Amino acid sequence: MAITEIEQRIYEDKVRLLNEMDLENWAKESFTDKQFRLVFIKAINNLIASSSIEISEASLLDDQHYTKQVLVELLRNVLVVSASNSTTVSYKPSLSVKGVKSKEFKGYTTGELATYFGVSTNTINNWINKEGRFLKYNANGQMEVVKREVPNEKVRIHPEYWFDSPSGMRYQVKELVETYELDKAEWDASKEQNMKSEEEQIVAYLEHFKKKYNGQDFNAVFGKKNWNQLNSEEETDAAMWSFFLQRLKDDKNSRD
């Protein structure tokens, strides 16, 4: 059963709360949360290769009696699996980050992370060297801190690694990178739209002046005239027309 990134975050948040609460209150609060119950049961089910239980997610959310039956069966299977010496759990990362095309991808540099996180490279290095904010799963499925083995070692942070933020939330690195990419795309699209809108306005003004002067262009109307001889309306039109022509030219040059 697929576990979404949102469900992973729900699960991580509940596990983190266990460090701050006594077990009884934590269990009472956590298992009355039907979203956590759902991801908890899905996680257990996925870990048990021998499980043949067909689970309905809708029923897990809405039917407590059904949820109880499924949980009882899964917990029994957990004991069977954990008691078997031949069964091991391994961590198998999956790459889904935009731009990552190969499993040979080794991860992001500290410079790239600084861009994605909106901080300096020194901050990224402090998070690695001093604060241990990046974590990963080892081959045994245990989470461990990413650290440099020797000073100044070049470290790459894989998108499947995790980040403990200063606010106390834990995110997968790929989530933060994807958020950055989405925000950047929206910002670029907004800038492009604004540029188009401004250009359209300028073109509309130019068409207005051309129509006002019987379809003639600026040079035909004002090119050979002495501006000292223009009336106030013509002087205003000439100044604005000239300004918008220059603005349109500057905008085109900036894009070339």
- Domain-located, residue 138: yes
Examine the domain organization and report whether 66 and 132 are in the same domain.
Answer: no
Per-residue pLDDT at 122: 94
How many structural domains are present in the chain? 3
> pLDDT under 70 in the chain at which residues?
1, 47-55, 71-72, 74-104, 191-196, 227, 255-256
Examine the domain organization and report whether 244 and 199 are in the same domain.
Answer: yes
Examine the domain organization and report whether 217 and 158 are in the same domain.
Answer: no
d(CA 252, CA 13): 50
User: pLDDT by residue (tens digit) across 83-110?
Assistant: 554 433 333 344 344 444 444 678 999 9
- The torsion angles phi and psi of 112, rounded to 5 degrees, stand at -65, -40
Per-residue pLDDT at 192: 67
Examine the domain organization and report whether 208 and 239 are in the same domain.
Answer: yes
Examine the domain organization and report whether 21 and 51 are in the same domain.
Answer: yes
Range of the domain at 197: 185-255
Question: What's the start-to-end Cα distance of the chain, in Å?
Answer: 51
CB 10 within 8 A of CB 16: no
Examine the domain organization and report whether 190 and 143 are in the same domain.
Answer: no
Examine the domain organization and report whether 124 and 157 are in the same domain.
Answer: yes
Per-residue pLDDT at 98: 45
